[in-house]
Structure formats: C-alpha cells, structure tokens
A and B are shown apart, each in its own frame.
Chain A
Amino acid sequence: MQVKEDTVDNGDRSRRESQGKAHPKRKRVFGLQARTIFWYLLVAVLYALVLELLVASGWYVFLTHSPASLKDFQKTGQVPTYLFIVQHVLFTSIIWIILVTPPSLIFGVLVTRGLVRRVRRLVDATTSFAEGDYSQRVEVRSSDEVGLLEERFNHMAQQLVESMRKEQELIEYNTRLEERARIEQEMQTARQIQLSLLPKEVPSLPGWRLATYYQPAREVGGDLYDFLTFADGRLGLVIGDVADKGVPAALVMATTCSMLRAAALASDSPGDVLAQVNNLLYAETPERMFVTCFYAILEPASGKMRYANAGHDLPYQRTCGKVVELRASGMPLGLLPNMYYEEGEVQISHGDSLLFYSDGLVEAHNAQREMLGFPRLQALLTENTDGKSLIDRLLSDLKDFTGEGWEQEDDVTLMTLQRTGELEMMNEQQAPLQLLWESTMASSLGNEQQAMERVAEVIRPLRLPASRLADLKTAVAEAMLNAMEHGNQFQADKLVLLQVRASPTTLLVRIRDEGGQQPLPDLDTVAAPDLEAKLTGLQSPRGWGLFLIRNLVDEVHIRGDEQYHEIELIMYLQAPGPASRPTTEQDQDMTPT
C-alpha cells in the first residue's frame, strides 16, 4: 500500500508540476521539533545542575529519606505494610512532582508562548480574511513550520485575491458580452425592420436608370428611401433620415414610410404630402424625434420632376457638365405642426444624373477628423466618372477620403436617377454603354477640331479601322460645329457637352448644346442637300454638316427639350443584330457602303 501511496503522491506531484502548480520546495528550517528538543535539553541540563547543587549542599536527605525509607526495612528485616509502601510511593511521587513541575512549566511556557501568539495572529488574520478583509496578511518572523504556515497563508490569500479578481473580471466580461449581444440583437432587429421596409427592387423605367445603395452603420441610423409607383406612370421618390438610432428610429422610419404612401395617394403635390405627414408625425412621435425627408414626383415621359423638401440634404443634379442643387425649403417632419413646404420643379434632360443621399455620406470623417462635406461632394460629382456608375464612383471616392479601417458613423444611403437615351436603353439590354469621357467646350470656332482629336484619342483603345475613325472624326467635328453655331450661336458663355460611351458592340458620341430655344433640325429634310440647286444658286453652298454626319456614322439621333439640343452619333464596333439596329429603306439608302 505504501508503494501505491507513493505512486499516487508522485503522480499528483507530477501533475501539479505539469500544471505549473508545484508547491514551493520546502526550506530547510530550524523546526519546532528541533527547538523543542533544544529547549528541553537546556532545561534538563539546568535542572540537573540545580539538583547537583542541592545534593552537594545536603538537601539530598529530603529526597532520599522519606518518612520511612524502604532501606530501613531491609536493614531491620521488617516487612513493610502495603499502606507503608503506598505512602512511600505517594511521597516520592509528590516529591518528584514538586521537583519536575517547575522545569516543566518553564519549558512549556518557553516553548509555547511565541508559538501560541503566532498561531493566534494567524487565526485572527484568517478570520478577518474570511469576513471579507482580503488585505489581511501576517508577518513572517520565523522560518519554522509556523513561519511556513504564515507564508502559505499569505500566498493563499494572494492567490485567492487574484482568483477572485479574475473571477470578477470574467463576470464583468460576461456581463459586457451579454450587454453587447443584447445591443447587437436590438441593432439586428432595427436593421431587419429597416431592410424589410426598403424597396426590394428598383423600379424599371424605360429611358431612366435608377440605382440605390444602402449601408447601415453598426448603430442603425434610420435612413429610408422608397419608390411610389402611380397608375399614370409617374414615379415618387423618397429619401429621408430619422433623427435617432436603433429600434426607435427604425419604428419611426416604418411609420413615416406608411404615412408617406398613404398621403401620396391622396395628393399630387409633394409639398402637401409632406405637410400631411408632418402633422401626423408631430402627433404620434416622441418629442425631439423628427425626420428629414425629400419627396419628388417624376414624370418619366417629359423628364419633369416636382419636389418638396423637409429639411433633408439637398439632392444634386448633374447637367451639361455642371452640378446644381435642388432647392426647396421646409422644416423636418414631426417637429412643429402645420408647416408649409415649398415646392420646386426641375427638367431632367437626357444624360442628366441626380443624386439623393443621406448625411452619412457628407458627414463621413477621415483620420484627420475632416468631414467630407458638401463642397467636396459637389466637386466629386463635377469630375469625370471614368466609366464607373455614379454610386461606384462616390463609394470609391468615399473610401479614398476616409481611408482604410473607417468605422462608419451613420447610415449611408445613395439613390441615383439618370435619364438615358433610347439607344442606350436598347443597348443596356445587351451590354451597358459605359462612359469613357465627358467634357465641355466653349462655343468657339476651331474647337470642333479639338473635340474631334480628343474623341479620337479617347477611343484609340477601341482600335477602329482608320477609315471608320476618319469618318467618326469628321462626324464629331460637324456635330460640334452645328452645336456651337446653330445651338449656342457662338455665345462664349454657352458650352457644348461632349460625352463618349462605349460597350463591346457600340460606340456612342453625344454632343449637347444649350440651344433649347432653337428649332430642332429635321434629319430627313435638312440632311438631303441638292448639289445642282447649290450650283445654280437655289440653295446655299453650305449646309452639308448633317448630311455628312448621317452618312459617316451608323446611326444618328437628335433630340432636345426647352433647354438643350443633343445629337448622338452611333458607330457599331461589331455588325449590329436586327434587334440593335432597326433597318429602314432610308437607312439603306443613306448608309455608306
């Protein structure tokens, strides 16, 4: 069994050692046992010395001559009685007790006095510790067993304090985790509410391109956007932001969306709709909670858009190389009752882009705590889009501005509306026409050559055959001449917008002037000059431009509105299919072979 115990002990020790918890090696100490023996020997020696002194001084009689010594019986031959023997033993014992007690007392006192004091101190410390005074420690004054006990007590107390601290930290950590999980759950709920309310699909409008981007912040901010489709083809566009975060914001957002939808059915006026929603929200939402909102109604056929604004960031319209704000005044919804909302109207021309956004975009900060801000956003919108969609471009610019590791502070919502041309629409079904280049030029003679060379440079990667390139260059120059002369009347302050777009199959050059007041040329009549009539003076020798344009490119579209004229020159990079280019008899006549 001993072997087994040893084995268990060794196993336990090795396990403890492997866990790094081996007891500290026991110190060599001048132990209690040794001290007791030492004190005992010391007392015994001293006492022996005392007895020797007593014997030497005749006091031994007291020890050896009891009232009736047994030796006396031996001498006399008498037999002692039992009583005598008992008396003798008792006497002797008493004498020895008297003799031994003082040294025993001295020895006992010497040995136990310090020991008891230290043990009491240890007991007191343990009691205090058990009652919660974890600062209790005992002073280690000796290296004996009690000293070791004191040392272990201190060590144990330290360990206990340490483990209690760790346990407390663990509890706090778990509490924090639970709290975080709770908040996360709440955020998740808010996000789900918000996402469930946002439109699942972007409406598809012929001739228009709508795109959205929504990225909630970790703490969901209550952004909203919505599309309202009316029976007559009009489209309502809503973008807003609730002035709160989390579930309350999501709930207010949901309420606002419902109210807007209901109000929009009852009124065609964006201002009236916002006024109605404002009153309803004012009555139902908590104090200090409000909603900024921009509501617009688009007539896709005409490109007219009416709008009203309830304190939301002003959308931007990018038109003819310029960026303008869609201004209309009005208080945020839910702040004050019976508010008036100003209405505005804007004409969206072909190629124009509109950006609706939430403050999460403009209020994004970079590492230097600079804010993106409106001027920077406006500048970004003015710049070339490098063929990317507006949203892609803005997100890329936002990333460049904020840098890596940006923690999004608020929801970022973007909504873009672009009016495209018919041809683009047709091509979008096959492959989208990407913007390669866009620029504006002054209406000054000579700029047509600059435009033509610039376009040729932009489309160089498309590797057009030399003859096709020469045709396109001439067509661009002619279109530019017409835009400067007939559209802009060579007025210095009027610009011509040039745009080059391409897909794998199609190249499009769009040239737009500001001559909306001028009549649109009729391709079928103007582009048919009569040389004989010119030679006989019946027609002006000039007037070849549209004719050349029509015959040098594969397809030409002319359109305009009250503000602009626009010509689109299309050249197919591959043989067009019947769906992409409807062929007419006239086309066959006009198309060069």
Chain B
Amino acid sequence: MPQANVVMNVRLIDPTASVIDIQGDVSAFAEPVLMQAYAQASTPTTRAIILNFTELAYMNSSGIGLLVTLVIRANRQEQHVLAYGLSDHYRRIFALTRIDDVISIYPSETAARAAVRR
C-alpha cells in the first residue's frame, strides 16, 4: 500500500483559530493525516480552521472529497473553514466545485486571520 505523500502541521494560533499547514499531496491517502490534524487543530474553543495550501503539491477529486468531509465535521462543531495559499488552478477547481462557497479563500494567512477576528 503506497504511503501518504503529505505532512500536516497544526498551529494553534489563538484559542479560536488553528492553522493546518499542508505540505504535499491531498489525495485519498491523506485522509488519516488530515483527520488527525483536524483533531489536533479542533479544540473546544476553536471557531476557525485555517488550511494553509501554500505548499500543496497535488490535490485530486478524492482530496476534494476529504475537504467536503472536513467541512461537514467542522460544520458540526460550528467551526468555519478558511484557506489560503491556493494556486490559481486550485482556486479554479474550488470555484468549479463550489467548495469556495463553504471554504473561504484568502490570499494570505494574515488576511485569513483578520477574517477570523472579524
């Protein structure tokens, strides 16, 4: 079984927001890694999960499915999911799939954090 080619670091930037830094591929293999990262990032006070796609190498439809799953879980926790660092191509895919309706896209971490504070 091939190994997941992805690393996810979680940063608890404040009591209400956490950042998941994604490095590598978001595909079917990334499911346990992403869910583990979400578990780390999601505290009782967390209201926003910020996904950092700056170092995203590849994402396929399975990866989009994972994001939908993440959004479903976050919604259950009344959390918002935000994202930044997406390339134009993945922005386009987010737009096509309308994922950007449920994951707010920002150009940078600063912008995302500012949005969380608002």
Contacts and interface: CB of A to CB of B under 8 A. Distances in A.
Q: Do A and B bind each other?
A: yes
B88 A467 contact: yes
B97 A531 contact: yes
B83 to A, nearest CB: 16
User: Which of under 10, 10 to 19, 20 to 34, or 35 or more describes the interface residues of B?
Assistant: 20 to 34
Contact of B61 (A444, A449, A548): A548
A554 interface: no
A467 B96 CA distance: 14
Nearest to B66: A541
A541 B60 contact: no
Nearest to B96: A551
A48 B104 CA distance: 159
Interface string B1-43: 0100000000000000000000001011100000000000000
Contacts of A444: 2
B62 A481 contact: yes
B60 A448 contact: yes
A282 to B, nearest CB: 63
A504 B92 CA distance: 27
A445 B99 CA distance: 24
A544 interface: yes
Contacts of A449: 25, 58
B116 interface: no
B96 A545 contact: no
Contacts of B28: 445
B65 interface: yes
Interface of B is mostly: helix
A544 B25 contact: no
Contact of A544 (B2, B64, B89): B64
A481 B61 contact: yes
B93 A474 contact: yes
A417 to B, nearest CB: 37
Contact of B68 (A481, A534, A552, A592): A534
B48 interface: no
B65 A467 contact: no
B117 interface: no
A531 B68 contact: yes
A470 to B, nearest CB: 4
A535 B61 contact: no
Contacts of B72: 534-535, 537, 541
B61 A445 contact: no
A214 interface: no
B89 A474 contact: yes
B98 interface: yes
A153 to B, nearest CB: 103
A477 interface: yes
A490 to B, nearest CB: 11
Given A449-B25, A478-B60, A535 B102 contact: yes
Given A445-B29, A467-B89, A592-B92, A531 B98 contact: yes
A537 B68 CA distance: 10
Contact of B2 (A445, A467, A592): A445
Contacts of A535: 68, 71-72, 75, 102
Given A445-B2, A548-B61, A470 B101 contact: no
Contacts of A552: 96
B69 A541 contact: yes
Contact of A531 (B2, B61, B101): B101
Interface string A467-489: 10011001001100100000000
B101 A548 contact: no
Interface string A425-450: 00000000000000000001110110
A534 B67 CA distance: 11
Contacts of A543: 61, 65
Contacts of B68: 531, 534-535, 541
A10 interface: no
Nearest to B72: A535
11 contacts: A448-B60, A449-B58, A474-B89, A478-B60, A531-B97, A531-B98, A540-B65, A548-B93, A548-B96, A551-B96, A592-B92
**Which A-B residue pairs are the 3 nearest by beta carbons?**
A542-B65, A541-B68, A544-B61
Interface of B: 2, 25, 27-29, 58, 60-62, 64-66, 68-69, 71-72, 75, 87-89, 92-93, 96-99, 101-102
Interface of A: 444-446, 448-449, 467, 470-471, 474, 477-478, 481, 529, 531, 534-535, 537, 540-545, 547-548, 551-552, 592
